[in-house]
């Protein structure tokens, strides 16, 4: 069995590639990073190290790579693959769509078997977004056939993999915990199961619980940690004020999740504590610059801050800590990040109120908008 996985980065090597290799797939990574591609091609294996006290390691074998910049090479790999997965970043999905579309066109012409394409990105409906990009590039007759033979089940993936700083560019350190949940209702009826993946009939509670707990808590810690002068999540979360605000934000998203999905409150409280424990992991060093990266994506209407804050408001839950997180995002000034530069320029040129509306879509007369401005003033003070 062959899997083509887009993105040989942290989660690609440290989680998806590892699980697919363990499950018996030959994993063909497609990446635009020449070093990663040539190292994977020549060595055909790499090491994953667990961030536990024993620093356990596992060698991932049966892997190789192709140049993601070469659309024909990508298309040929997709045309003959048994599975396609991605972990490139949700904003990059449109850039990998041409190779996937060309590969689907080839495999349909060859009469190949049905295919699952699973986007493992931090987003609601990641695979559905990829499908839209891909289908927009297909000829009408191919699109009609692809509708019944190419499946794009949505997924939720959870494993903290920081930026790596090792001599070996392939070595990757990961936290011990992982969870990969795939929406079975969007798959072919006789689909093969990957060991280690949880298949569910309704992904919504899983993806929202993950995104609005792990990722909401993470980015609130990153933004408030940055404002308080901390460089890592581990040092930020050790600060009493930061952790109290993170917990506050997770109580707000938790109240929304309990109402929306009927989760048991006590179970959800345990889930929150478990997530906070993962953030603290002393064997990991996770920089606030990574966790807060792409603030415009994180401030967008369907993402980890705005969506639960507006849902909270609708339910009569005060999203004060989420507003604080959004205010802190507006102070996140890691200038190597193009989204930070754009946000800071917008704040400078249009003013904070207009910039918040532009990126969050929250109108200026909305009470949550007012809360963000108030929290920004609190941070100034």
Ligand X SMILES: NC(=O)c1ccc[n+]([C@@H]2O[C@H](COP(=O)([O-])OP(=O)(O)OC[C@H]3O[C@@H](n4cnc5c(N)ncnc54)[C@H](O)[C@@H]3O)[C@@H](O)[C@H]2O)c1
Ligand Y SMILES: O=P(O)(O)OC[C@@H](O)[C@@H](O)[C@H](O)[C@H](O)CO
Which single residue is written with the structure tokens 């590969």? 103
Rule CB under 6 A: which of 147-176 touch ligand X?
157, 159-161
The entry of ligand Y, ligand X, none that residue 12 binds, CB within 5 to 8 Å by partner kind: ligand X
Residue with tokens 């091609």: 41
Please count the CA atoms within 13 angstroms of the CA of 320 that sit on its side-chain side: 6
Least Å from the CB of residue 297 to ligand Y:
7
Among positions 20, 187, 214, 327, the unique one binding ligand Y when judged by CB under 6 A: 214
- Rounded Cα distance, 166 and 14, in Å: 14
Distance CA 68, CA 181 (A): 26
> Quick one: what does residue 175 bind among ligand X, ligand Y, none, with the CB cut-off 5 to 8 Å set by partner type?
none
**DSSP label at residue 162:** -
Return the one option of ligand X, ligand Y, none that residue 293 interacts with (CB less than 5 to 8 A, by type).
ligand Y
Residues within window 214-253 making contact with ligand X, judged by CB under 6 A: none
Give the range of 82-90, 141-149, 193-201, 340-348 binding ligand X by CB under 6 A.
82-90
Task: List the binding residues for NAD(+).
Answer: 3-14
Nearer residue to ligand Y within complex by CB, 253 or 294: 294
Report in angstroms the alpha-carbon separations of 81 from 28, 60, 74, 75, 201. 9, 19, 10, 10, 25
Q: Please count the residues of this chain forming the interface with ligand X, following the rule CB under 6 A.
A: 26
Smaller CB separation from ligand Y, 26 or 49: 49
Segment interacting with ligand X (CB under 6 A) among 54-62, 86-94, 245-253, 299-307: 86-94
Instruction: Report, in Å, the least distance between residue 158 CB and ligand Y.
Output: 4
The distance of closest approach from Cβ of residue 292 to ligand Y in the complex, given in angstroms and rounded to an integer, is 8
Report in angstroms how near the CB of residue 317 gets to ligand X at its nearest: 26
Q: What is the DSSP letter of 193?
A: P
Count CA within 13 A, CB hemisphere, residue 281.
24
The binder of 33, among ligand X, ligand Y, none, by C-beta within 5 to 8 A per type, is ligand X
Contact 109, 139 (CB under 8 A): no
Asked if 242 and 221 touch (Cβ cutoff 8 Å), the reply is yes
Which structure tokens are listed for 69? 């910049």
30 binds, options ligand Y, ligand X, none, Cβ within 5 to 8 A by partner type: ligand X
Secondary structure of residue 44 in the 3-state scheme: coil
Out of ligand Y, ligand X, none, which partner does residue 31 contact, by CB within 5 to 8 A per kind?
A: ligand X
Place of tokens 């009927």: 262
- Could you list the residues known to form a binding site, using ranges: 3-14
> Among residue numbers 96 through 115, which ones bind ligand Y (CB under 6 A)?
none
* Dist. CA 232–CA 223, nearest whole Å: 11
360 lines the binding site for ligand X (CB under 6 A): no
21-50: contacts with ligand X (CB under 6 A):
30-33, 36
Helix (H) or strand (E) holding 36: helix 34-43
Question: Closer to ligand X at the Cβ: 92 or 353?
Answer: 92
- Minimum CB distance to ligand Y smaller for 79 or for 250: 250
Helix (H) or strand (E) holding 8: none
- Start-to-end CA distance of the chain, whole Å, equals 59
In angstroms, rounded to a whole number, what is the distance separating the alpha carbons of residues 171 and 275?
25
Residues of this chain that interact with ligand X (CB under 6 A) are 6-12, 30-33, 36, 68, 87-90, 92, 95-96, 121-122, 157, 159-161
């Amino acid at each position: 069995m062959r899997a083509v996985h887009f993105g040989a980065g942290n989660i690609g090597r440290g989680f998806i590639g590892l699980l697919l290799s363990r499950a018996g797939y030959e994993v063909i990574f497609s990446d635009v990073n020449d070093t990663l591609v040539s190292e994977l091609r020549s060595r055909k294996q790499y090491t994953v190290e667990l961030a536990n006290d024993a620093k356990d390691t596992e060698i991932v074998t049966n892997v190789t790579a192709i140049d993601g910049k070469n659309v024909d090479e990508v298309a040929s790999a997709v045309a003959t693959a048994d599975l396609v997965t991605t972990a490139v970043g949700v904003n990059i999905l449109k850039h990998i769509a041409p190779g996937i579309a060309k590969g689907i066109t080839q495999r349909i012409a060859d009469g190949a078997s049905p295919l699952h394409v699973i986007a493992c990105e931090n987003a609601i409906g990641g695979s559905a977004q990829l499908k839209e990009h891909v289908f927009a590039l297909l000829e009408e007759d191919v699109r009609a056939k692809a509708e019944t033979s190419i499946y794009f089940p949505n997924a939720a993936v959870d494993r903290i993999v920081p930026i790596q700083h090792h001599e070996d560019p392939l070595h990757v350190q990961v936290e011990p915990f992982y969870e990969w949940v795939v929406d079975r209702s969007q798959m072919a009826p006789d689909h093969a199961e990957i060991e280690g993946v949880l298949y569910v009939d309704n992904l919504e509670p899983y993806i929202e619980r993950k995104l609005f707990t792990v990722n909401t808590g993470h980015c609130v810690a990153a933004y408030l940690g940055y404002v308080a002068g901390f460089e890592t999540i581990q040092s930020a979360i050790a600060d009493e004020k930061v952790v109290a605000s993170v917990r506050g934000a997770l109580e707000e998203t938790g109240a929304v999740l309990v109402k929306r999905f009927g989760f048991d409150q006590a179970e959800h409280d345990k889930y929150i504590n478990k997530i906070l424990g993962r953030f603290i992991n002393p064997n990991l060093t996770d920089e606030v610059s990574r966790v807060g990266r792409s603030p415009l994506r994180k401030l967008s209407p369907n993402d980890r801050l705005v969506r639960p804050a507006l849902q909270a408001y609708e339910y009569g839950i005060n999203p004060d800590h989420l507003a604080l997180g959004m205010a802190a995002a507006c102070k996140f000034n890691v200038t190597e990040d193009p989204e930070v530069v754009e946000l800071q320029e917008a704040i400078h040129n249009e003013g904070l109120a207009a910039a918040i509306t532009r990126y969050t879509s929250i109108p200026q007369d909305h009470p949550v908008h007012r809360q963000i401005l108030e929290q920004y003033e609190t941070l100034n003070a």
